[in-house]
Amino acid sequence: MPAIHLKVSGKENPALAKELVKTISGLTNEILHKRPEITVVTVSFIPDYLWFVNSESLAELKKNSFFLTIKISDSTNLKDDKAKYIEALHKSLSDVIGNIHPVSYTAIEEMKADAYGYEGLTIEYKIINNKISNFRKEK
């Protein structure tokens, strides 16, 4: 259900990508209670000379950065959970990547359940179908 994209400054590094994905997936499960088996994470590396903060490249600033976006179903997490997630991600990714510029972002995008899905089905359909299935099992 969560679709996560992480942009990291620097040269492509598969070992670093794998470590970051494990960190992100773990925090997404632990804090936002999202199931790992339906969590997708993609990682892109952007050269530090092409990443700018206040018109200066990270290469010039001699810093690293990241920008993480996560798409989740609307209203499935409390504000406190989202704040805790952003804080934990920033700390954990900063620890793994190192030398992080303070202007590194995490964005949580909440998608309406009728406009988001996987397996060709909307989340709204899956929620309703699960409720019907559970109701039938109770009888």
For residue 100, give the DSSP letter.
B
The pLDDT assigned to 54 comes to: 97
Q: Are 9 and 23 in contact (CB under 8 A)?
A: no
CATH number of the CATH domain containing 100: 3.30.429.10
Task: Please report whether residue 52 resides in a domain.
Answer: yes
The pLDDT assigned to 1 comes to: 78
Task: Please report whether residue 136 resides in a domain.
Answer: no
The tokens 């998608």 sit on which residue?
Answer: 111
Task: Please report whether residue 132 resides in a domain.
Answer: no
* pLDDT per position as a tens digit, 5-49: 999 999 999 999 999 999 999 999 999 999 999 999 999 999 999
Over 80: is that where the pLDDT of 139 sits? no
Q: Are 68 and 60 in contact (CB under 8 A)?
A: no
- 70: β partners: 4, 108
* pLDDT per position as a tens digit, 43-97: 999 999 999 999 999 999 999 999 999 999 998 999 999 999 999 999 999 999 9
The pLDDT assigned to 91 comes to: 98
- 109: β partners: 71
Task: Please report whether residue 121 resides in a domain.
Answer: no
Domain assignment of residue 63, given as a range: 3-113
Task: Please report whether residue 53 resides in a domain.
Answer: yes
H-run or E-run covering 16: helix 14-32
For residue 62, give the DSSP letter.
T
Task: Please report whether residue 78 resides in a domain.
Answer: yes
Helix (H, G, I), strand (E, B), or coil: what is residue 54?
coil
The percent of the chain in helix, strand and coil, each rounded to the nearest 5, is 50, 30, 25
Task: Please report whether residue 72 resides in a domain.
Answer: yes
Domain count, the chain: 1
Task: Please report whether residue 119 resides in a domain.
Answer: no
The pLDDT assigned to 127 comes to: 86
The pLDDT assigned to 111 comes to: 94
In a 13 Å sphere around the CA of 42, the CA atoms on its Cβ side amount to 5
The pLDDT assigned to 81 comes to: 97
